[in-house]
Amino acid sequence: MDIKTTEFADQILQRAVQAGAVFAQLGQAETDRIVEAVHKAAFNQRVRLARMAHEETGMGKWQDKVLKNVVASQLVYDDIKDLKTAGVVSEDFASGITEIAQPVGPILAVIPVTNPTSTVIFKVLISLKARNPIIVCPSGKAKRCCAETARICYEAALAAGAPEDCIQWLNDTSREQTQALMSHKGLALILATGGTGLVKTAYSSGTPTLGVGAGNVPVFIDVSADIPFAVSQVFISKLFDYGTICASEQAIVVEAAIAAAVRSEFERQGAYFLSPDEIVKLEAVAFDTVKGAMKPDVVGQPASLIAQKAGIAAPADVKILMAPLAGVGEKYPLSSEILAPILAFYVEPSFTDAVNRCIDLNFYGGIGHTVSLYANNEARITEFSLLMNAGRIVVNTPSSQGGVGGMYNRLSPSFTLGCGTGGKNITTDNVTARHLVNIQRVARRRDNQRLARFDAALYLDESLDSEALEQIFNRNY
């Protein structure tokens, strides 16, 4: 690493460490005032920031990006505003344990191109709520809108009494500079939301990281489901920002008994089912077989434009491209995650086969992320849920919005969806402010009765087994 790169990281982290030290002096009320001010400032700029994000990235729909900004500001604020994150947060006389929340320290926030302004707002709010300084590190394709979002949040935070440099943002960082920041001794935590490569780099830095895994969301529509409703919800989700959310649906799985009804409902609502030849054409424009991943130029694009690129004669008003597939894996590129209005479609002979197909999809690039189920049969909901490896199993809910949380369920609204150890993450939670504090426990003396009123020398007697010792312990004196 050259001197310039080291100096760059040193300067940024020095400012952040100092901001963190000052921030740690603030109490809950002062912290909450800052968070309230920042959320209002971001909320009030939601439309301008959404338009900026859309213009700069060319992905998705600005109207949906407005809603993402609303979730990141208003819903996240509603979720965290009453959370205790400073000083004594709990006291329990019986256990003698008092919990004290301390800030973790400077946080590096990696921001993806797919949800840039909303992720900045979200990460700034949860970091400040926990009294942590934050360094915003945007995708190169979204640096202007991210810088503007960070600036708005910073000005509001300063005006509300936050310490100088509590929010910093980077403009043009090289790979080396990002790595230098990630591995800097002053950095406390990385909030890594982005591609697999970047998340892996963060994990390899030696700094604790809350990362995300890739998604590949199967949707099982059970025979007990309300089909028109289920299909309408898939449209709401898959068309939201043209599918840029990693919790968006990737494949529909149905039993043969209802396949025709589901297919005709999809067609009625604006989906186009591809022929085998058209599937090959779509694979060529949507999937990079060398990299084994979706092509960036289809991400967040409307189905009509993708169809046009692929030379597919779909109706001009097509909303979703459906690819009936026979299997999952490398031979079937469209069985992978593609963040665009494209869905694989599987018809299976029975419930058992349908669940097996969902397991295949779940384990093909989406372990630990999100799965979706439409059913009105509680036994099947439970059976299905027990067999999936997913942090979020969303039921009768659009999975993009359902996974993010706060809109259709009471999951914590979040733009960092933990995928558990299957996705190489430490948590399956929707990451939020409570993950950004160190909890110190003051443990007052409360003698363990098993030891306190028991002759510990009896443990030395090998002739006494656990039952005999239990009897002695429970004897009335």
Residues carrying an active site annotation: 246
Pick 289 or 385: Cβ nearer other proteins: 385
Judged by CB under 8 A, does residue 356 bind other proteins?
A: yes
**Alpha-carbon distance 81 to 75, whole Å?**
10
Is residue 107 within 8 A of residue 127, CB to CB? The reply is yes
CB of 258 to other proteins, least distance (A): 19
Pick 330 or 455: Cβ nearer other proteins: 330
Chain positions 155 to 194 lying near other proteins, rule: CB under 8 A, are: none
**Alpha-carbon distance 429 to 415, whole Å?**
11
Pick 311 or 349: Cβ nearer other proteins: 349
Pick 79 or 360: Cβ nearer other proteins: 360
* φ/ψ of residue 322, rounded to 5: -110, 130
> Residue 160 is encoded by which pair of tokens?
């509300």
Pick 259 or 359: Cβ nearer other proteins: 359
**Alpha-carbon distance 436 to 447, whole Å?**
32
Find, among 103, 210, 215, the residue nearest to 162 by Cα: 103
Pick 363 or 454: Cβ nearer other proteins: 363
Is residue 190 within 8 A of residue 107, CB to CB? The reply is yes
Q: Which long-range contacts (CB under 8 A, 24 or more apart) does 287-294 make?
A: 287/333, 287/334, 287/336, 287/338, 289/333, 292/330, 292/336, 293/336, 294/336, 294/337, 294/338, 294/339, 294/340
Q: Which amino acid is at 376?
A: N
CB of 364 to other proteins, least distance (A): 9
**Alpha-carbon distance 463 to 68, whole Å?**
66
Q: Which stretch binds other proteins (CB under 8 A): 19-27, 104-112, 255-263, 349-357?
A: 349-357
Find, among 177, 162, 164, 175, the residue nearest to 16 by Cα: 164
Contacts of 115 (CB under 8 A, 6+ apart): 65, 68, 193, 241, 244, 245, 415
Q: Which stretch binds other proteins (CB under 8 A): 14-22, 78-86, 214-222, 348-356?
A: 348-356
Q: Which stretch binds other proteins (CB under 8 A): 28-36, 56-64, 350-358, 391-399?
A: 350-358
Pick 21 or 326: Cβ nearer other proteins: 326
CB of 348 to other proteins, least distance (A): 11
**Alpha-carbon distance 451 to 391, whole Å?**
40
CB of 434 to other proteins, least distance (A): 29
Q: What is the DSSP letter of 420?
A: T
Q: Which stretch binds other proteins (CB under 8 A): 22-30, 282-290, 357-365, 446-454?
A: 357-365
Pick 183 or 356: Cβ nearer other proteins: 356
Find, among 148, 193, 191, the residue nearest to 42 by Cα: 148
Q: How many residues bind other proteins (CB under 8 A)?
A: 9
DSSP collapsed to 3 states, 332-380: EHHHCCCCCCEEEEEEECCHHHHHHHHHHHHHCCCCEEEEEEECCCHHH
Pick 36 or 383: Cβ nearer other proteins: 383
CB of 387 to other proteins, least distance (A): 5
CB of 355 to other proteins, least distance (A): 4
Q: What stretches of 132-216 adopt beta strand conformation (E)?
A: 134-138, 167-169, 189-192, 209-211
Q: Which stretch binds other proteins (CB under 8 A): 74-82, 97-105, 191-199, 356-364?
A: 356-364
Chain positions 360 to 389 lying near other proteins, rule: CB under 8 A, are: 360, 363, 383, 387, 389
Choosing from 352, 385, 438, 471, the residue that interacts with other proteins (CB under 8 A) is 352
CB of 368 to other proteins, least distance (A): 12
Judged by CB under 8 A, does residue 273 bind other proteins?
A: no
The packing angle between helices 116-129 and 62-70, to 10°, is 10
Interface characters, 304-343, with other proteins (x: CB under 8 A): ----------------------------------------
DSSP H or E stretch at residue 387? helix 378-387
Ramachandran region, residue 374 (left: φ > 0; alpha: ψ -120 to 50; beta: rest): beta
Interface characters, 17-56, with other proteins (x: CB under 8 A): ----------------------------------------
CB of 359 to other proteins, least distance (A): 5
Tell me how far the alpha carbon of residue 119 is from its chain's centroid. 10
Judged by CB under 8 A, does residue 355 bind other proteins?
A: yes
Q: Which stretch binds other proteins (CB under 8 A): 98-106, 225-233, 334-342, 354-362?
A: 354-362
DSSP H or E stretch at residue 390? strand 390-395
CB of 347 to other proteins, least distance (A): 15
Positions in the binding site for other proteins (CB under 8 A): 352, 355-356, 359-360, 363, 383, 387, 389
